[in-house]
Amino acid sequence: MDLFKFLNKDSQRSKNVAKERLKLVLIHDRSDLSPRLLEMIKGDMIRVVKEYAEVDEEGLDIKLTRMKRESDGMPMSALVANIPIVKVRENE
């Protein structure tokens, strides 16, 4: 009986991963941003932040997501960046 519980957990995990991937595909599709353009934006953001701080590139997480505008609740695309800063550079 425990084997069935274990297999069910794996299928739930796979289901959730597939669901998240589908959401990302739909978000990218609706935003009209090509993957190439999104990569260019990410590169520019990282380059600018690196001018002011040392960043942990392993921990970088930049993604496109959907959210609702506060003013009217309409859905919109949002670029969310999590850029871990190791050390702020001294002013030159």
Beta bridge partners of 66: 77
Q: What is the pLDDT of residues 25-42, one digit of tens each?
A: 666 556 667 778 878 888
pTM of the model: 0.54
Q: How far apart are CA 14 and CA 56, in angstroms?
A: 29
Residue whose token pair is 């993957």 = 35
Q: What is the pLDDT of residues 55-68, one digit of tens each?
A: 998 898 888 777 88
- Residue ranges covered by each domain of the chain: 2-88
